[in-house]
Amino acid sequence: MSVLNIVLVEPQIPQNTGNIARTCAATGARLHLVKPLGFAIDDKKLKRAGLDYWHYLDITYYDGLKDFFAQNSGGNFYYFTTKGQANYSEVAYPDNAYIVFGREDAGLPEDLLFHNPETCVRLPMRGGIRSLNLSNTVAVATYEVLRQWGFPALESQGNLTKYNWEEATCPK
């Protein structure tokens, strides 16, 4: 089974992390949180944003980037950054990919980016805009990877609550 790993390095805003946790629950992605965090893990805003999906999550905590890389050596890391030179949708993400995101206010450490130029990617956007919201960026990136993988183990069709789709009529 394909595994996608979402890595948040020193997230600062609990609502973003809660939204990302919900994305992980909905997609089956593993969540990696690299400390220090800008909030307590029991923060009400964090729990509210993630709703009642916390029991669906596979979360691992790390005491810093050094600890994260020590425990995940040999991983396929892709660094999402506004400083990246490659378009995120032009990369072929392998199974067990780690998509890595930095702090909302500072991004990823520049020395990490400098030493990994071939795996630094960005979402295209207009000039003069600092960045997209972290949880939005994670959602776009997550669904691009899963799209490339054919959305493994995800339901691709929904159901109506009061009607049956087979009985629907389309206007001519």
- Give the closest residue to 86 by CA, choosing from 57, 114, 122: 122
- Indicate the SS3 state at residue 102: coil
Please, are residues 12 and 105 in contact by the beta-carbon 8 Å criterion?
Answer: yes
Cis peptide before 36 (omega within 30 of 0): yes
As given in the structure block, the two tokens for residue 13 are 């805003």
Please give the backbone phi and psi of residue 14, each rounded to the nearest 5 degrees, phi first: -60, -35
- Give the closest residue to 121 by CA, choosing from 136, 141, 103: 141
Burial of 81 (0-12, 13-18, 19+ CB in 10 A): buried
- Which residues are documented as binding site? 102, 123, 131
- Give the closest residue to 21 by CA, choosing from 11, 67, 62: 11
- Which residues are documented as binding site for S-adenosyl-L-methionine? 102, 123, 131
